[in-house]
Amino acid sequence: MKKIGTEMRSRHPEIPIMVFSRGASHANKKLSEFFDVITIDGSVERGAAARADFVEPKVCLQGNYDPAELVKKNGKTKASVKMSAIKYLEEMGVGESGDTNNSLIANLGEGLGGKESVELVKHFVDVVHRESKRLLK
């Protein structure tokens, strides 16, 4: 992975390089030396993912909002999506300084599976945009 990251960076220094180390999150701190974006997998507790002992603070994190939060059959509503999205942003360290990472690509941990409500997906995106701006001030 070091060789891949180093080679890609030398060939394309202007392009951020992303890595997803499913099942190997213990290596994310080392991988963050060679990659710009670390995608966290579902085995990683979100609060730990943003800490400087898990990844270098300069690295952007990607992941890992639970798509089950967007399924109306699960009893989810706009209010529950707003609460869980804000909790997600806070756990990922958005707006904090010090020993956490401030850079995040908010996405779904497992992607869309077809059961999610379009209305709730849109609401999630809107909440992430609005609350990120608020937290980053």
Helix, coil or strand: residue 54? coil
- pTM of the model as a whole: 0.84
Q: Which fold has domain 2-136?
A: TIM Barrel (3.20.20)
Q: How far apart are the first and last CA of the chain?
A: 36
- Locate 124 and state its tokens: 């999630």
Please give the pLDDT value at position 70. 97
* CA dist., res. 93 & res. 131, Å (int): 12
* CA dist., res. 129 & res. 97, Å (int): 19
Residue pLDDT, tens place only, 91-125: 888 876 655 556 889 988 878 899 999 999 999 99
Query: Which of 53 and 132 is assigned the larger pLDDT?
Result: 132
Is residue 63's pLDDT more than 70? yes
Alpha-carbon distances, residue 124 vs 58, 69, 102 (angstroms): 26, 9, 19
Residue pLDDT, tens place only, 8-28: 999 999 999 999 988 888 888
